Amino acid sequence: MTIGLIMLATSINAIAIVSDFNNVIPRPNNITILSDSDHFSLNNNTVVCYDIDNESNSIHLRKYIKDATGIDLKTTHKKHCKNFVRLAINEKIYNPEGYRISVSKNCCLIEGKTKAGVFYGIQTLRKSFVPEKSASIDIPIVLVEDEPRFGYRGALLDVSRHFFKTEDIYRFIDMLALHNLNIFHWHLSDDQGWRIEIKSRPELTAKASVRPETVIGHNTPKYDGKPHGGFYTQQEVRDIVEYASDRNIVIVPEIDLPGHAQASLTAYPNIGCTGGPYELWKIWGVSEEVLCAGNDSTYRFIEDVLGEVADMFPGELIHIGGDECPKTRWKNCAKCQAKIKELGLTDQPGRTAEQQLQRYIMEFAQDFLTKRGKRVIGWDEMLEGGIGGNAVIMSWQGEKGGIEAAKMGLDVIMTPTSHMYFDYYQTSDIENEPNANDGYLPIEKVYGYDPVPKELTPEQSKHIIGSQACLWSAYIPTFKDVEYMSLPRLAALSEVQWCMHENKDYKRFTNSLETLLRQYDSMGLNYSRRLFDVDAKFSTDADAKHIMVTLDAVNNAKIYYTLDGSEPDTKKNLYTKPFEITNSSTLKAIAIHDGFGTGPVYNEKIDIHKGVFRNITLHTSPSSNWCAAGCQTLNDALHGNANRESGRWMGFREEDLVATIELGDDNEVSEVEVSTCMVKNKWSFHASKIVVELSGDGVTFTTVATEEYPHITWDQNDGVRKHSLKFEPSIARYVRVTVQPDRKPEGHNVHGGGYVFVDEIVIR
Ligand code: ACM
Ligand code: ZN
């Protein structure tokens, strides 16, 4: 009878899932297949036996396998001799988070130097197969030996700009665990809301955890009229800390000082320079309202808050912020100025008295926490006023601060906006994405990041203790959006943090990603599929007068395309090799990814106007970071979209753009169209003036069109504007175009003037 039942059960789920460690992300350092002809079968009769340190790991393993496959493993503390998985500590393993998986026909042994190592062995096992209801998993006879490259593998979640419920925080921790991250940087306070109960400071949660409404979009003049907020009680925090710890994740709480502090001021106005009244900020950006550094109450406030925070979070590291603290208030505050005097601070080359005052307040917090056995982390602005002790620097404004700190012998965590800000768009096609922070960070760029800068010596490199992704939530309103912005970029990050740089391989990564994406599916995670999009590259051949188009998609997916604007489908025009375009066309293309369908249709207008295939000379210099691929970008037949960072736009600030396009022979010309791209928050505005001049000899030019535009106002929408300058049809060989940035846009205090981002200069 029993045998009959078992046979019935196996015949229902007859096909075993096959595990393959080559598909695990992050990729284990060493995978040695010991036998091809056999396997270990994990099934309902498999027993997980664990030593005493690994009881919680046995519970994790059992749950992961049950959720993914339905297989119900038994667990026991006792020894077992057949069909078992053993979870054990092995002191001989070198790295505290290292692990080893040894599989034989009879058993699967997962060992770690510590229970953290065993936990990562379990993660690797669960990621080695595609989740599916089944009666068994065939695990190859294999030896996996693995350890992480970095000891600090973090991700930041900002819960101030948008609040996420405790269930969401648990889910976030599960996401980090799945990717072998071990630090959750919890950004708990900012201008838009205070998020953690401080018993000695009840007004923080009573008055500063719910803002009355929130700005819509990128600081438009509109508000949603809806209160938003919430906070975590100390009990909730302690439960979350324990949940994280059980998954080898340390929580680094951040209380941002002395800037990004408008929530603190809203609750306790006496600790601000003006005394208030203050209210929670309803917009995004950097507020000028900061903690008053000349007020004793401010220091008592810091002690009260950090004292309770230190008690709630058992980890060594506490983040005390230090970023983006404008000094406007301090300059005009009698108390701050008196403090500066009392401390004997004076302006020094490269270091103002106010910057040194910031150092004073940060060191006050640092000393307080050091006495409690803690170590502080601060954003790289901490370096501006000078820094002491053993503070850890978090390098976010590029790598410069991190390099400087490592050279000073300080430990560093790399989180440069360029590679680690996951609130940025993950595709250039931003019109078809949820609203995000203006920045562009495709997954391939994340993947390619090496946190150890080349400038550092091997000795200095030891101070780069890890890297971290940041999810700032101004434009991430729901937890589903957190998932979408994180995944699968978190998978790319996990290889940056875990794997040696030389062992990374983007092709291998994308090929093995499917197994992980199926894991996301089984966990109900909302992930982006934009890495499946068609990627098109264009190269102009001026002599042959054509544009070569090369299409690509990850994992050698089949691509179908059209050039007449019609919708592509799988019945016609399979892409097989690069092709030429000689006339204006609309390229549309799709890539087919088995099991994942197709992404949005790739759509590009190739505009072969009179200026294309012609010589262009730029007489002025773009801003250093905004050179695109050189001035050929301005007449390459391709138009930039609202993504300023797509590589199609050249940015000018210090100088006007002045460019001459040489038409080669006499041409009739009657219109020049210049596109500009506005992203107000990034100080990029439309042009204030455009001039078109024509010439027959390239020496004497005649102005044929001049347009001046009113200053940009804050209520205007971001995006692309086409400036069309029409004039009497004229014969010309040279067209010179001047584009002047709006250096004084209204209502915006733009230091150094606004940029103008220019793309295609179309000549008709
Ligand atoms: C930051 O992005 N202000 C650290
Ligand atoms: Zn002050």
**CA 100 to ligand 1 centroid distance, Å:** 38
Euclidean distance between the first and the last CA atom of the chain, given in angstroms as a whole number = 86
Instruction: Output the CA 325–ligand 2 centroid distance in Å.
Output: 13
Q: What region, left, alpha or beta, does residue 678 occupy, with left being phi > 0 and alpha being psi -120 to 50 degrees? A: beta
Ligand closest to 361 (CA) is 2
Using the mean position of ligand 1's atoms as its centre, give its distance from the Cα of residue 192 in Å.
14
Q: Which ligand is nearest to the CA of 329?
A: 2
Ligand that lies nearest to the alpha carbon of residue 291, given by its number in the listed order: 2
Nearest Cα to Cα of residue 597 among 533, 521, 519, 535: 533
Which atom belonging to ligand 1 lies closest to the Cα atom of 421?
2
Whether ligand 1 lies within 6 angstroms of the CB of 602 is answered as no
Token pair of 610, please?
């009179």
Kindly state if the Cβ of 398 falls inside 6 Å of ligand 1: no
Residue nearest to atom 1 of ligand 1 (CA): 323
Q: Taking residues 68-73, what's their average pLDDT?
A: 97
**Contact indicator for 105, 40 with CB cutoff of 8 Å:** yes
Q: For residue 394, which atom of ligand 1 is closest to its CA?
A: 4
The ligand minimizing its distance to the Cα of 289 is: 2
Q: In this predicted model, what pLDDT tens digit does every residue of 107-120 receive, in sequence order?
A: 999 999 999 999 99
pLDDT at 287: 95
Q: What is the pLDDT of residue 307?
A: 98
Whether the per-residue pLDDT at 638 is higher than 50: the answer is: yes
How far does the centroid of ligand 1 lie from the alpha carbon of residue 446, in Å? 18
Residue 379 near ligand 1, beta carbon < 6 Å: yes
Instruction: Report the pLDDT value the prediction gives residue 11, as an integer from 0 to 100.
Output: 43
Supply the pLDDT for residue 371: 97
The pLDDT tens digits of the residues spanning 642-656 come to 999 989 999 999 999
Mutation choice for ligand 1 from 472, 475, 476, 682, CB with most ligand atoms inside 8 A: 472
Q: Output the pLDDT for position 15.
A: 86
What atom of ligand 1 comes closest to residue 415's alpha carbon?
4
Cβ(593)–Cβ(570) below 8 Å: no
563-571, long-range: CB < 8 A, 24+ apart? 563/587, 567/601, 568/601
39 is catalytic: no
What's the confidence (pLDDT) of residue 595? 82
Residue 682 pLDDT: 85
**Residue pLDDT, tens place only, 352-376:** 999 999 999 999 999 999 999 999 9
Q: Which of 500, 290, 344, 323 is nearest to 415 (CA)?
A: 323
Q: Is the pLDDT of residue 751 over 90?
A: no
What's the CA gap between 306 and 308, in Å, rounded? 5
Q: What is the pLDDT of residue 578?
A: 98
Among residues 132, 288, 324, 404, the one annotated as catalytic is: 324
Our answer on whether the CB atom of 172 is closer than 6 Å to any ligand 1 atom is no
Rounded to the nearest angstrom, the distance between the alpha carbon of 7 and the centre of ligand 1 is 59
Q: Per-residue pLDDT tens for 678-731? A: 998 888 999 999 999 999 999 999 999 999 999 888 788 899 999 999 999 999
**With bands split at pLDDT 50, 70 and 90, how would you rate the model's confidence at 753?**
confident
SS3 string, 103-162, reads: ECCCEEEEEECCHHHHHHHHHHHHCCCCCCCCCEEEEEEEEEEECCCCCEEEEEEECCCC
Strongest mean pLDDT among 220-224, 485-489, 622-626: 485-489
- pLDDT of 13 reads 57
List the Cα angle 738/744/748 in 5-degree steps: 135
Q: What letter would DSSP give residue 305?
A: H
Nearest-angstrom CA–CA distance, 525 and 479:
10
CA distance 712 to 1: 82
In this structure, the dihedral spanned by the alpha carbons of residues 636, 639, 642 and 645, taken in order and rounded to 10 degrees, is -10
444 is catalytic: no
Are 318 and 377 contacting, i.e. CB atoms less than 8 angstroms apart? yes
Amino acid 95: pLDDT: 98
Active site includes 256?
no
User: Dihedral sign, CA of 570, 575, 576, 579?
Assistant: positive
**Could you tell me the distance, in angstroms and rounded to a whole number, from the CA of residue 322 to the centre of ligand 1?**
9
Of 101, 104, 105, nearest to 93 by C-alpha is: 101
For 513, the token pair is 């990603």
Average pLDDT over the chain, rounded to an integer: 95
- Take atom 2 of ligand 1 and give the residue whose Cα is closest: 396
Given pLDDT bands bounded at 50, 70 and 90, which one contains residue 600? confident
- C-alpha 762 to ligand 1 mean position (Å): 38
Probe residue for ligand 1, chosen from 324, 413, 415, 681 as the CB with the greatest number of ligand atoms within 8 Å: 324
**Mean pLDDT throughout 503-526?**
97
Q: Is the pLDDT of residue 737 over 50?
A: yes
**Is 324 a pocket residue for ligand 1 (Cβ < 6 Å)?**
yes
Q: Sorting pLDDT into bands at 50, 70 and 90, what band is 10?
A: very low
Closest ligand 1 atom number to CA of residue 396 = 4
Q: What pLDDT sits at residue 375?
A: 97
Q: Ligand 1 within 6 A of 384 CB?
A: no
Residue 12 has what pLDDT?
Answer: 44
Evaluate: CB of 323 within 6 angstroms of ligand 1: yes
pLDDT digits (tens, 9 = 90+) for 11-21: 445 689 999 99
For atom 3 of ligand 1, the residue with the nearest CA is 323
Q: Which ligand is nearest to the CA of 413?
A: 1
From 190, 423, 693, 760, the catalytic residue: 190
Least confident of 190-199, 376-385, 486-495, 745-754: 745-754
How far, in Å, from the CA of 291 to the mean position of ligand 2?
Answer: 7
Q: What is the pTM of this model?
A: 0.94
Per residue in 426-472, pLDDT tens? Answer: 999 999 999 999 899 999 999 999 999 999 999 999 999 999 999 99
Between 139-153, 234-248, 675-689, 723-737, the lowest mean confidence (pLDDT) is in 675-689
* CB 514 less than 6 A from any atom of ligand 1: no
Distances (CA, A) of 42 to 24, 75, 129, 536: 18, 13, 12, 44
Q: Which of 260, 319, 593, 686 is catalytic?
A: 260
Residue whose C-alpha is closest to residue 255's, from 207, 301, 296, 211: 301
pLDDT at site 224: 97
Ligand 2 center to 363 CA (angstroms): 17
CA distance 185 to 396: 14
pLDDT score recorded for residue 5: 42
Question: In which band, very low, low, confident or very high, does the pLDDT at 749 lie, cut at 50, 70 and 90?
Answer: low
SS (H, E, C) 497-551: HHCCHHHCCHHHHHHHHHHHHHHHHHHCCCCCCHHHCCEEEEEEECCCCEEEEEE
Instruction: Give residue 175's pLDDT.
Output: 98
